[in-house]
Structure 1
Amino acid sequence: MADTVIFGSLLYSHIIPPVLAFIGVILLCSGIMDRKRNYTIAGIVFFFAAGLLPFLILPVILGT
Structure 2
Amino acid sequence: MSDFLVANLGFFFIPPGVALMLYFDIIRAEFWPIVIATLVSTALVLIVTGWVHQLTRKIK
Provide the TM-score with structure 1 as the length reference.
Answer: 0.45
Q: Which of these two proteins has the greater Rg computed from alpha carbons? A: 2
Larger relative contact order, structure 1 or 2 (CA cutoff 8 Å, min sep 6) = 1
Structure 2 length as normaliser, TM-score? 0.47
